[in-house]
Structure 1
Amino acid sequence: MVKTTKSGGKVMKKLTVKKGATCMACLECVEACSNAYYKESNVLKSCIQIVERKGEPKPMACPQCGKCAEVCEAGAITQNAKGVYMVNKKLCTGCGKCVEACPFGLMVKAEDKPTASKCTACGICVKACPMEILEVVEK
């Protein structure tokens, strides 16, 4: 069951960039994520990416839209009580349909791993960011 606010909206846990914050594209957040999930520093194995927006680098993480869950035929991607879509590694078949469906290119399916990964708003990248521009919030 997903929690709701007093106004009836869902409580969502998300990784966000603080308003007005400036990213220096040092990739510390990207490295922290890939090291946490894959035990190696590899941009392609990070669930957070640095993208260019309006000529500036910006961290981008899963907005928890659920497109990945919609296409998962194995039912391996479900939303938890905090609104975060999670991949059940025991159910994931590694088909990669979730990677194809992600409109943000943030689902990760490493060729050398059997299952997909995504941002779970765990906060590892938040702790790694030397500029302190990332935060995990519940809205």
Structure 2
Amino acid sequence: MKKLVVTDRSLCQNCLACEMTCSNAFYKHYGLNTPCIKIGLKKDDSLDVKACNQCGLCAKKCPQGAITQNPKGVYMINKKKCNGCLTCVDACPKGIIAKVDDKPVPSKCIACGLCVDACPMGILEIKEG
């Protein structure tokens, strides 16, 4: 299974390079709801990096069957099948399926690796298996 992994959250500098790169890849701009990776604060005010682990809960909850797992284990949204109901957005335990108001379909991490290349601290990687 191919997935994005955060190797050491404690090294995150909150530069948002990963968020901006992801947003630009999907939406050509950066906004609060556009990245499929999120930097946030935990209850103790330490930084947290939320990344999709390809758990498949979004696919299980999708009433249209629009989210399926590809041969590499990555869950993908089929834009032709998706009706924009946002059940997947609500189902995501990490809250990282992105939805922009002027786009009919949400976006989720596809383990493309662009955020990995953008991270100056080198704490992101794409793992197989």
TM-score scaled to structure 1, two decimals? 0.86
- Cα displacement (A) at 1:21: 5.5
1:34 aligns with 2:23: yes
Distance 1:62 1:107 in 2: 9
> What one-letter code is carried by the residue in structure 2 that aligns with 1:78?
T
- Cα displacement (A) at 1:59: 1.7
Give unpaired runs (5+ residues) of structure 1: 1-11
What residue is the counterpart of 2:64 in the other structure? 74
Work out whether residues 29 and 125 of structure 1, in 8 Å CA contact, stay in contact via their aligned partners in 2: yes
What residue is the counterpart of 1:4 in the other structure? none
Q: Which stretch shows the higher mean deviation, 14-23 or 63-72?
A: 14-23
- Cα displacement (A) at 1:28: 0.5
Percent of matched pairs sharing the same residue: 54
Aligned length: 128
- 1:60-71 to 2 correspondences below 5 Å: 60-71=50-61
1:138 aligns with 2:128: yes
Which aligned runs of 4 or more in structure 1 are off by greater than 4 angstroms?
none
Distance 1:120 1:61 in 2: 11
Structure 1 residues 74 and 129: alpha-carbon distance in aligned structure 2, compared to 1, 3 A threshold? same
TM-score scaled to structure 2, two decimals? 0.92
> What one-letter code is carried by the residue in structure 1 that aligns with 2:23?
S
Structure 1 or 2, whichever has the larger Rg, is 1
Q: Helix, strand or coil for the counterpart of 2:111? A: coil
Work out whether residues 16 and 136 of structure 1, in 8 Å CA contact, stay in contact via their aligned partners in 2: yes
